[in-house]
Amino acid sequence: MMCKVLIFSCISVAMLVTTAYGASLSSEKMEILPTLIKDLGILEKSKNEIHLELYTPNEIQECSRQTLQCYLEEMVTLKKEIEDEPEIENEVKNALQNIKKNLQRLTDLNPIEGECKICEANDKKNFPDFLQQLTDFLRSMQK
């Protein structure tokens, strides 16, 4: 009986330490990230046709959930802006829809952090720079 309590206690401590110091990415995250990066590559095709400035987070490591949430909010803005634009291909619009869905899934898988600035407190950058920083951020999550 004492052995079971000791084993349970060790497992509990290991879980707490993993939570406190960050666990490696779950398999679901590892499946989402390459898909997101591939879909961002499709958006790249229209980077010269999209003339928007979007809030672009820069607190990458400390606030990954908030960073993902900000990128998700900006993707919603982007979708509204290009919805009725005839020069934007349907493939790009479909990729944008997939990016929104997968960013939401990825956001839900990340733990809530402490104090992180709101999305609107970040600098606005043009669409190509926004796209590059999002891609770089997702690649850094793969490592």
Residue 11 CB coordination number (10 Å):
10
Instruction: Give the pLDDT of residue 84.
Output: 82
| 3-state SS assignment for residue 110 | coil
Angle at 120 between CA 117 and CA 126, to 5 degrees: 120
| pLDDT one-digit tens code per residue, 109-121 | 988 888 888 999 9
Question: Is the confidence at residue 15, as pLDDT, over 60?
Answer: no
List, in order, residues 6 or more apart from 89 with CB less than 8 Å away: 45, 46
Percent of the chain with pLDDT strictly greater than 70: 80
Higher-scoring residue by pLDDT: 115, 34: 34
For the chain, the average pLDDT equals 84
Would the CA dihedral through 97, 98, 99, 104 be positive or negative?
positive
Over 70: is that where the pLDDT of 31 sits? yes
Residue-range domains of the chain with CATH: 26-142 (1.20.1250.70)
